[in-house]
Amino acid sequence: MDGPRIDREQYVLGDASHHVGLLNCERISERSHIHGWHVHTHYHDGLAQLFYFADGETLGHLDYEEMRITAPALIWMPQLVNHGFDYPEGICGWVVTIPTADLMRISQTMPWIDPWLSRPAHIFGPEHLAGLLPFHSLFEEIEAEHAHWGEDRGVTLEALFRIALVRLHRCLQNALPSRATALVPHQTLVNEFRALVDRDYFLNRSVGDYAAELSVTSTYLTRCVRLATGRTAGAIIHDRLLLEARRLIVFTDLPIAQVAYRLNFSTPSYFTRFFTALAGEKPTVFRNRMRARNRQR
């Protein structure tokens, strides 16, 4: 049997750097033509997900544990944690995907969610019904706002997602203690590395700089990152920088040269080469394409 694999194309839209907006919201049925109601075990790098199942019974494969999940149900899935689902055909449910960079930023003003943020969680069962039912209308609201494009879209989506985190936190407080899922050492190190990258992505720090702060060698850090994500530590750093570049290009009117300097590139031409190599198109082409797409919404 094939083991869990990292997913970048089938179940989510690309890597974290492709999530230019704050979050992505989809109904599970929207990708049924791809997964046929069966999602193979996989994990995400740089992305966390919140699932809400409104009806039916789903067979979940969560971090090597199999369980039958009876709706209504809420599933929190951090990055690098294996998960897969066998959905009942026609299930009503949603999945919200958010880059861990934004999650870490949000958690700075909600420090009480830190104890569970990097661990998977599941809430379902009749004893949690009162806490779970309000999520249905909340996810409908997130879905509607996600389909809307306007200058207030980002702040509204963040407000709604914060409400979801608060409600999830309250559900977890009311839940009976469940068996904790232990993170293997390399996953813990990679999570710590990503948190540092999210903090310092604009400082042009090297892999060696991050390794020194984490009290490991560059070789060991790179080995752990590759084991967890299939990528190099340097690629993770570049991916975070690319995410910020994409956001500045799309959501501000800064000239490309000013975007380059804001991200501490030595010259605009160096930034353009960096962006083109990773994104596959020049910054100006990317800006024009994204804004044309947004006008069509």
Instruction: Please list, in sequence order, all residues whose beta carbon lies within 8 angstroms of the beta carbon of residue 41, skipping any fewer than 6 positions away.
Output: 3, 4, 5, 61, 82, 83, 84
When the pLDDT of each residue in the chain is averaged and rounded to a whole number, the result is 84
Angle between helices 233-251 and 283-295 (to 10 degrees): 50
Give domain 5-174's CATH number out of 2.60.40.10, 2.40.260.10, 3.40.50.300, 2.60.120.280.
2.60.120.280
- How far apart CA 214 and CA 242 sit, in angstroms, is 23
Q: Which two tokens stand for residue 17?
A: 């750097």
**pLDDT exceeds cutoff 90 at 36:** no
**pLDDT exceeds cutoff 80 at 215:** yes
Average pLDDT on 226-255 reads 85
Q: Which CATH superfamily is domain 185-295 in?
A: Homeodomain-like (1.10.10.60)
Length of the chain, in residues:
297
- How far apart CA 202 and CA 179 sit, in angstroms, is 38
Containing 94, the helix (H) or strand (E) segment is strand 93-99
190 contacts 81 by C-beta, under 8 angstroms: no
Average pLDDT on 182-195 reads 76
pLDDT at 194: 85
Nearest to 81 by CA among 51, 113, 54, 111: 51
Burial category of 240 from C-beta neighbours within 10 Å (exposed 0-12, middle 13-18, buried 19 and up): buried
Query: Domain map of the chain by residue range?
Result: 5-174, 185-295
Q: Is this model's pTM higher than 0.85 or not?
A: no
Buried/exposed code over 82-96 (b: 16+ C-beta within 10 A; e: otherwise): bbbbebeeebbbbbb
